[in-house]
Structure 1
């Protein structure tokens, strides 16, 4: 099991940038797998709590049923467009993929299921300081932090 705490320990500056992108907006998008294997995209809220990335599913929601059946997920931060002429200031977008581990009932707000992330991959896509190259950074438990630049 790889927790968010492990990402922070392995690549602290990278993890801080990714977390800032997830914390910048309330609503994110999660991809789960339906019973027939096709993808489902749903809105979701997330939290970083005591070294864990957590998220919930309201009682009876399809995404919760998807995750209980097949725990694989891909989570995407909110996406904002770069401002024309200020592309170098664009913060980029972040993605986290892994497996959802059922962690009991939601204790605050509407009833539902709480999940914590077993993190398999974290990605931050942004532009270089000159805004001339796309920079893709990613972290995995096995290979740590890596970066590639693309035209």
Structure 2
């Protein structure tokens, strides 16, 4: 079974809300893909949470789109923000990106997002394999909340 954003939201509503809020703090985030030789590549990217999906929209024939067409594995990190304090913590989502070519699904996205050229962009929906929320508690613990499909949330505290 594949897990999209709606499945995650249903399974772990509080964590899903925190993740969406964290991504909402900035417009641009960091997407990691794999180059043809298997080495990692990072890209800037805007994301959208719409209709139960986490969407990745990209310019035509961009390196990130071509990478995902060849190998759909990705990791997405919320923009860390200015400075080094990470006052809002960190969020990472990993999984597989599935290109959406169905005209009706694309129209649903473009009606909400209004891209500059609705006919000329790549659109991917995500299938999740992991969501990680990292934060600091009591100014001494690094706390990771890790969700994987079928496992629920596991919490790790480090000093």
The two structures have a TM-score, normalised by structure 2, of 0.86
1:73-92 aligned at under 5 Å gives the runs: 73-80=74-81, 81-82=84-85, 90-92=87-89
The structure that is strand-richer by fraction is 1
Name which of 128, 136, 143 aligns with 1:135. Answer: 143
**Alpha-carbon distance in 1 for matches of 2:151, 2:50:** 25
Q: SS of the counterpart of 2:100? A: strand
State the aligned residue count. 144
Residue equivalent to 1:93: 90
Residue equivalent to 2:154: 146
Name which of 98, 106, 109 aligns with 2:116. Answer: 109
User: Displacement, 1:142?
Assistant: 2.2
Q: SS of the counterpart of 1:148? A: strand
- List gaps (5 residues or longer) in structure 2: none
- List gaps (5 residues or longer) in structure 1: 84-89
The two structures have a TM-score, normalised by structure 1, of 0.90
Residue equivalent to 1:87: none
